[in-house]
Amino acid sequence: MEKNFSEQDKLYSRLYSYSKKYIPYKWLGKLGLDNINQQQITHLLTSYGLPVVLSTIALLTTYIFKFYPDKIPFYMLYSIFVALSSWYGGLGGGVLTTGIIASGVVFFLSSNIQYELTGSLLIGLLSFIVSAVTVSFLIGTARRTNEIKKFKEQEKAYSQTFTQLFGEHIKARKEIKARDEFLSIVSHELKTPLTSMLLKLHGMLNSVYNVSLANFSVRELMQVLENAEKQIKWLTAMINDLINVSLITTGRMNLKIEDVDLVGTTNRVLQNFSELLKREKYKIRIEAKSPVVGRWDEVRIEQAITNLVSNAIKYGRGEPIDIKILKTGDSARFIIQDRGIGIHPNEQKVIFDLFKRAEEQNGNHKGLGVGLYITSQIVKVHGGSIRVSSAPMKGSLFTIDLPLNQSVKE
């Protein structure tokens, strides 16, 4: 937070700098003031030093220019110096200046044989003292009011800052908790397939070592190898998700921008899922009247579509999935709708946030739960938007809007 120094603050700063430059600190040490700080020095200078200096200047000016007590400029000049002392040194500074000037005037008049302390002069001097003290009191009050106002503004700013920091602290604690739960899920998800593969491989090796090769089952070996391949692919997918999360959170997800047909990319993604769709007996219907070409990173856009299709299959309960691709003005729109278990309204607010699925993890579905986060970040870095419309047991509808020619950081 930047500090806006007033003229008074600047004067204090200059006085302190001057004192620090020209007053050796060893002298202060000899006086027992070696522990004095900037604020204390400033207070001493403004409350005592400044009134003495101004009073001396006032008396010297009176003596040099012969502004004698019986003339109006005499009192006007003194009032100015008292006002200055009051503003910078407070009520005490103004009273001190008044006292020094009044004492100096009495001494000047009593030592000068040309003047006598007549009743009119004493009344004028008394009037000056009363008016100077009154002015000092009023200026001191205004000064305190101004300081109180300034302190209240600072208090308000500090309160807002504290509230913001406290909110960020609570958010950070929640994110740390979610991260720890997420890491626990990651370790479990990575360990489970490895353990399964190791057990089967140990069993196969035991059969090779202890059983005659004539009785060795090639069919069983093929099952083990197929299972190992499946588990390795699963591990690779999870590791890629972790790498993508790392790239996103560290701001290192660079894009390779080129002309990309959203319809062609979607068809390619569906082709990759063809075996799974056939096995799960899913029907995916795609509606697109013509190619929709935009300037995007083809690999990242394909990844985003893959995540949405994968989610639709995972949570779709075997019901048909509809995909619609169209051009709307200067944007491309991708819509995917399933008829599965849906998403609770409370969860819809956080499903695109990192680590949030870890909080909702119920163990019914495997995975790290970062797919939607990665998808949302890919869409965001392309200058687009993603939203969801869903209800429990009524399916989910995800909509992505991507600018066709949005300038992105390559």
pLDDT at residue 143, rounded to an integer: 75
User: From residue 308, how far is each of 4, 245, 273, 373, 387 by CA, in Å?
Assistant: 51, 17, 12, 11, 12
Q: What is the mean pLDDT of the chain?
A: 77
Q: 45: domain range?
A: 7-165
pLDDT at residue 353, rounded to an integer: 83
Q: pLDDT over 70 for what percent of the chain? A: 73
**Region 300-309 average pLDDT:** 93
Based on the domain organization, do 395 and 292 belong to the same domain?
A: yes
Based on the domain organization, do 326 and 395 belong to the same domain?
A: yes
Q: Of the segments 22-31, 110-119, 326-335, which one has the largest average pLDDT value?
A: 326-335
The residue type at 258: E
Based on the domain organization, do 81 and 219 belong to the same domain?
A: no
pLDDT at residue 109, rounded to an integer: 65
**Region 30-35 average pLDDT:** 55
CATH code, 309: 3.30.565.10
270 vs 182, higher pLDDT = 270
Single pTM value for the model: 0.53
CA-based end-to-end distance of the chain: 34
Based on the domain organization, do 140 and 216 belong to the same domain?
A: no
Contact 256, 297 (CB under 8 A): yes
Burial of 182 from C-beta contacts in 10 A (0-12 / 13-18 / 19+): buried
What pLDDT band is residue 347 in, cutting at 50, 70 and 90?
confident
Q: pLDDT over 90 for what percent of the chain? A: 23
From the list 242, 47, 260, 7, the residue with the least C-alpha distance to 136 is 47
pLDDT at residue 2, rounded to an integer: 42
> Which residues share a beta bridge with 390?
396
225 vs 282, higher pLDDT = 282
User: From residue 121, how far is each of 68, 131, 146, 262, 311 by CA, in Å?
Assistant: 10, 15, 37, 99, 98
Q: Of the segments 78-92, 121-135, 302-316, which one has the largest average pLDDT value?
A: 302-316
Q: Of the segments 95-104, 135-144, 159-168, 313-322, which one has the largest average pLDDT value?
A: 313-322
Tokens standing for residue 130: 């009363």
Based on the domain organization, do 264 and 245 belong to the same domain?
A: no
Summarised one tens digit per residue, pLDDT across range 137-179 is: 888 777 777 777 788 888 888 888 888 888 888 888 887 877 7
Question: Taking 70 as the threshold, does the pLDDT of residue 21 lie above it?
Answer: no
Mean pLDDT check: name the lowest of 73-82, 341-350, 395-404.
73-82
Q: Of the segments 21-25, 53-57, 268-272, which one has the largest average pLDDT value?
A: 268-272
Q: How many residues does the chain have?
A: 410
Based on the domain organization, do 53 and 75 belong to the same domain?
A: yes
- The rounded distance, in Å, linking the Cα atoms of 248 and 202 is 39
Based on the domain organization, do 48 and 102 belong to the same domain?
A: yes
Based on the domain organization, do 343 and 272 belong to the same domain?
A: yes
Reported as type and span, the H/E element at residue 341 is none
pLDDT at residue 401, rounded to an integer: 96
Question: Taking 80 as the threshold, does the pLDDT of residue 372 lie above it?
Answer: yes
From the list 39, 147, 44, the residue with the least C-alpha distance to 96 is 44
- The rounded distance, in Å, linking the Cα atoms of 107 and 96 is 16
In a domain, 108, yes or no: yes
Contact 273, 286 (CB under 8 A): no
**Region 112-118 average pLDDT:** 56
Residue ranges of E strands in 142-188: none
**Region 101-105 average pLDDT:** 78
Domain boundary among 133, 165, 197: 165
343 vs 68, higher pLDDT = 343
Question: Taking 70 as the threshold, does the pLDDT of residue 406 lie above it?
Answer: no
What pLDDT band is residue 32 in, cutting at 50, 70 and 90?
low
Sequence-separated (6 or more) residues with CB below 8 Å from residue 399: 333, 334, 335, 386, 387, 388, 389
The residue type at 292: V
pLDDT at residue 157, rounded to an integer: 83
Based on the domain organization, do 125 and 186 belong to the same domain?
A: no
What pLDDT band is residue 280 in, cutting at 50, 70 and 90?
confident
Based on the domain organization, do 360 and 267 belong to the same domain?
A: yes
140 vs 276, higher pLDDT = 276
The residue type at 373: Y
Contact 253, 377 (CB under 8 A): yes
How many folded domains does the chain comprise?
3
Tokens standing for residue 128: 């000056």
pLDDT at residue 361, rounded to an integer: 41
What pLDDT band is residue 324 in, cutting at 50, 70 and 90?
very high
In a domain, 297, yes or no: yes
Domain boundary among 249, 270, 304: 249
- The rounded distance, in Å, linking the Cα atoms of 265 and 263 is 5
**Region 249-258 average pLDDT:** 83
pLDDT at residue 20, rounded to an integer: 55
404 vs 31, higher pLDDT = 404
Sequence-separated (6 or more) residues with CB below 8 Å from residue 356: 178, 347, 350, 369, 373
In a domain, 171, yes or no: no
User: From residue 407, how far is each of 59, 295, 299, 383 by CA, in Å?
Assistant: 73, 9, 17, 8
CATH code, 208: 1.10.287.130
Based on the domain organization, do 245 and 144 belong to the same domain?
A: no
Reported as type and span, the H/E element at residue 402 is strand 396-403
- The rounded distance, in Å, linking the Cα atoms of 62 and 68 is 7
Based on the domain organization, do 237 and 272 belong to the same domain?
A: no
Tokens standing for residue 264: 């062609």
Q: What are phi and psi of 368, to 5 degrees?
A: -90, -15
Phi-psi region of 216 (alpha: psi -120 to 50; beta: other; left: phi over 0): beta
In a domain, 129, yes or no: yes
Mean pLDDT check: name the lowest of 222-226, 267-271, 326-330.
222-226
- The rounded distance, in Å, linking the Cα atoms of 188 and 368 is 10
Question: Taking 60 as the threshold, does the pLDDT of residue 6 lie above it?
Answer: no
Burial of 189 from C-beta contacts in 10 A (0-12 / 13-18 / 19+): middle
Contact 378, 400 (CB under 8 A): no
Mean pLDDT check: name the lowest of 51-60, 213-222, 316-325, 356-365.
356-365
257 vs 82, higher pLDDT = 257
Number of other residues whose CB lies within 10 A of the CB of residue 388: 16
Sole residue written with tokens 């059969």: 207
Three-state DSSP state, 238: helix
